[in-house]
Amino acid sequence: MMPIYKFLTEDELPADELVAKQKGALHLCPSPSQSNLLLTNIQTNIHFLGSCINPNYLFKPTHFSCSYRSRSQSPSSSHMDFSSFTDRSSSLYPYHLLFNALSLIPFSHYFFAFAVFSFVFLYNFFEFHFFSDLFLRFRGSPIGLTYHPSSPIYNDVVSHCRILHGRYLATPWLSSPHFQTCFLNFFGRPPAFSYRRQIYHASDGGTIALDWLMHSDVSGGRCLMNNAISKDDTTPIVVVIPGLTSDSAAAYVKHIVFNMAKRGWNVVVSNHRGLGGVSITSDCFYNAGWTEDIRVVINYLHHEYPKAPLFAVGTSIGANVLVKYLGEDGERTHVAGAVALCNPWDLMIGDRFICRRLVQKFYDRALAIGLQGYAKLHETRFARLANWEGIKKSRSIRDFDNHATCHVGKFETVDTYYRYCSSSYYVGNVSVPLLCISALDDPVCTREAIPWDECRANKHIVLATPKHGGHLAFFEGLTASGLWWVRAVDEFLLVLHSGPHMHVQKEETSSLHSSEGTSIDQGPYVNIAEDGMVAAMSGEQTRGQVEEHPSEARSDFVSEKARTSEQHTDIQDVKFSNVTATVRRCLNQVSRQNQRSVWMLTLIAIVTSWPLLGSAFIFYRKKLRKILPATLIRR
């Protein structure tokens, strides 16, 4: 007997089977022998049933029931209820329709959507700014300048610098700080020239490589190898301090050196100890706050060429060393002007920043690999002075500093090292015209570490903050052939040299350093010298001992015959009477200030306590009547 399917209305339903009172509910009534076949039919032909009837009735358990009867059976015969099946079908049906709809979309549309999503993600991940440049019609962004309102360096020097008051537009196909930074390190496009190598021997036995490029050596990009600088030469000398694990061969160093030499100035790169192809010859290593090397190099150059103005340019960690040195020496330095490029400023903040995001961790790992390579070059000494196994396992800058720098520099912890060596604590004591350039999108040295207020409070400092540029990159032009900061530094130093604001050293009666950072982490675990410097080894001589016994500076030029000359510096001993006179004068000033403060506090005390005295007088007037004479009370 074939099953009979019939649509029943509410009037035809038995009373005990009436589930919903909505008219038009569906009831399928097959014969009893075909009930299983009906169930299979419903499961396999759900789309057919959905197209024949209203889905609202089919998949609502309160509106659907299944009954079976033969032609001879009455409408009140027994029936089957498939409400449990409809519960499962109602929960799966929307997803089934969704998958069917998604299957109808062509694969090319999925590929296009994936490409759009990937583009948006990578655009934000790598911090591209192409569309913002396009919105500005490729006019670039203005340079932000921070300075003291009455700063003579800004009013008379920076105000005449057209580049610093212009706009910076990054190369369109390098419109990302990460792309700019990577392009500088992997390609860089440095000019081709050769240095003259001079070896300077420090008093502690250390060796420093000084690489020179004379203005006479640059003629159409060719090296002429002329004679050395004369003693009475007045040509300005620019001292360049490279960044972490960088030397004179770095692309950005070659850019600034070649440009300043073409300007007509002599340039010397002061390589860090153990870099530039020179071995470590003492137990002293450089670090982010080691200023003794740049101090002795500056003093040596001033002694050799007393009539030549000295300018200094520091990059990255070299900028931190330079600013810290200028803050430590204050007025005593021989530097006439300085520029700090992409300074990390606060090493604690920089350490937190470089571990924050995934892209920053890439730089952290890359710099750690460079430090490990530096340690492998001098494995013998590092293995003796530091934790060599920890150095080999280092995966970040902090790991390397923990296993190497803290051991060599005698720091208790990494945070102690970071706090003591941060140049932001020395900004207030800088007395030299200083231009600081830091990109706001620097992926290595974060803008969060920039000491905005300290730079604004110092009249000798002007802070320039371009919106883009990356770390030491600042490529410009369609071909990315030049660096914007190189032109800015060239113009600033040229205007400064032509004006009256170059710094001239003031002779001090005391050789003591006054730095703002000397109160930071000077516990018994830190080896502090008398001048406030951190001694790399416990047996190192202090700076005062070095001045009493000046070292012999031996310099050998590769292009000339080897020559050895002993350099003796006559430095007068500081007289105790002069020191005590200075201290006495300071104490007198403090005492005068204290006297004024005492009188002011007395006046404030009288004014504020007078109402209380009046109230007390009224409260104790009965007792005062007994004590004081009657004539005084009447008055």
| Sign of the dihedral defined by the CA atoms of residues 160, 458, 509, 290, in that order | negative
What proportions of the chain, in percent to the nearest 5, are helix, strand and coil? 45, 10, 40
Closest CA to 339 of 197, 497, 188, 123: 497
Where are the alpha helices (H) located in 59-151, listed in sequence order? 83-103, 107-125, 130-135
pLDDT digits (tens, 9 = 90+) for 119-159: 999 999 999 999 999 999 999 999 999 999 999 999 999 99
CB 471 within 8 A of CB 181: yes
Amino acid at 484: W
**The predicted structure's pLDDT at residue 505:** 79
**Residues 106, 43, 49: CA angle, nearest 5 degrees:** 75
**The predicted structure's pLDDT at residue 599:** 61
Tokens of 295: 């101090």
CA-to-CA separations, 116 to 94, 120, 128, 546, 598, in angstroms, rounded: 28, 6, 15, 65, 72
**The predicted structure's pLDDT at residue 276:** 93
Residue 279: left (phi > 0), alpha (psi -120 to 50), or beta? beta
**Residues 405, 408, 409: CA angle, nearest 5 degrees:** 75
Amino acid at 563: R
Quick one: angle between helices 358-377 and 347-354, nearest 10? 110
Arch. (CATH architecture) of 156-346+423-504 = 3-Layer(aba) Sandwich (3.40)
First to last CA, the chain: 134
Distance (Å, rounded) from C-alpha 17 to C-alpha 67? 9
**The predicted structure's pLDDT at residue 242:** 98
**The predicted structure's pLDDT at residue 426:** 98
**The predicted structure's pLDDT at residue 557:** 41
Neighbour-count burial of 303, counting CB atoms closer than 10 A to its CB (0-12 exposed, 13-18 middle, 19+ buried): middle
CB 334 within 8 A of CB 310: yes
What does pLDDT average to in each consecutive run of 10 residues of the chain (635 residues)? 48 52 44 49 46 44 45 47 57 83 91 95 95 94 97 96 97 96 94 95 95 87 59 95 96 97 96 95 94 97 96 98 97 97 98 94 96 95 95 96 96 97 97 98 97 97 98 95 96 96 71 39 38 39 38 41 38 40 50 54 65 63 61 47
**The predicted structure's pLDDT at residue 84:** 54
Tokens of 632: 């005084």
Q: What DSSP designation does 203 have?
A: T
